[in-house]
Chain A
Amino acid sequence: MPEHIVEKKTYYAVFTGLILLLAATVALAYIHLGKLNIVAALTIAFIKATLIILYFMHVRYSSRLLWIFVGAGFFWLGILFALSFSDFFTRGWLPLPTGWE
């Protein structure tokens, strides 16, 4: 056997968790939390994605080398977001001149 075989009950447990998190994200969206609504929604989405990656996609049982490959993909996504946000969301911070008058 080239790979660790995940037990069926693990899959059922992860699936139950995913459905409960889906219910939680819908329920939380209707409760007014102000800016925390998006934080809650994204946190739940990240937990769901992590569950899928670790268990359904078997990454938890894979080699360190595969962890690096998986991490690299999301690390580069992080670069894309961090650098773009640091531009777009700081544009109003400094009173820049509008141009040559």
Chain B
Amino acid sequence: MPDHSIALAHQFDDIEQQHESAALGMWIFLATEVMFFGGMFLGYAVYRGVYHAAYAQASRHLDVLLGGINTAVLLCSSLTMALAVHAAQLGGRRTVVLFLLATMLLGSVFLGIKGLEYYHKYEERLIPGSHFEFSGPNTNHAQIFFSFYFVMTGMHALHMIVGIGIMLVMTMLTWRGNFSAEYYFPIEMSGLYWHFVDIVWVFLFPLLYLVDRS
């Protein structure tokens, strides 16, 4: 089994143990990511409790259509990512590359739409700072909402950019034939990261775009 001996790192008893170690390590990293985003969600929630009226008013300035399309795009990218891992488990090379490329493409579409939304906010003078303009009695509190909006979606977008970089590396490694049906763990662990970033958006979308639409 030449494949197997190459895949198995010498500190592990067998490939199952190696796989579980990788998954555990990845989930420890993801736990730190949960705490990282958790702090921002907490800040968002506390201010939402205090300035609910301003949040409701400011949230209506976000584009539900673009945000909804972006959510769907991201869910699609999670599907192609899951299918890439599935293909990798079966030892496919071309299919893995194709699904990874599709994932990167969808991730880029997400970032493009996000950029378009940012541009609209810039044109509407809704970027917090000295040029911020907001009609209504809650200007300062609305600025807090938009601060959270830009920081949280900005950190999320940064994670997307990192994710696309990781997928680029995975695509090249797959293309070079570094993985097999025995050893595909890096693709799977990159997938965990990608799905995690998707989960963050699953919460960001309703909390930012749908505060009070009724």
Q: How many A-B residue pairs have CB under 8 A?
A: 127
- Encode contact with B along A1-36: 1 for CB under 8 Å, 0 otherwise: 111011010011001001100100110011111000
Is B79 touching A15 in the complex (CB atoms < 8 A)? yes
Minimum distance in angstroms from B32 CB to a CB of chain A: 8
Residue B206 at the chain A interface, CB threshold 8 Å: yes
- State the CA gap A63–B24 with chains docked (Å): 10
- Give the interface centre of A48, A53, A72 by most chain B CB atoms within 10 Å: A48
Size category of the A interface is 35 or more
Contact partner of B64 among A18, A26, A32, A57, CB < 8 A? A26
* Chain B residues within 8 Å of chain A by Cβ, number: 51
Residue of A nearest to B85 (CB): A58
Minimum distance in angstroms from B88 CB to a CB of chain A: 10
Q: Shortest 10 CB-CB distances between A and B: which pairs?
A: A73-B31, A32-B214, A29-B210, A41-B206, A2-B19, A69-B27, A15-B79, A29-B213, A77-B38, A73-B34
Please list 18 pairs of residues, one from A and one from B, whose beta carbons are closer than 8 Å in the complex, sorted by A's number.
A3-B19, A5-B90, A11-B79, A11-B86, A25-B205, A30-B213, A37-B212, A37-B214, A48-B199, A53-B199, A55-B82, A56-B191, A65-B20, A66-B24, A73-B31, A76-B34, A85-B45, A85-B46
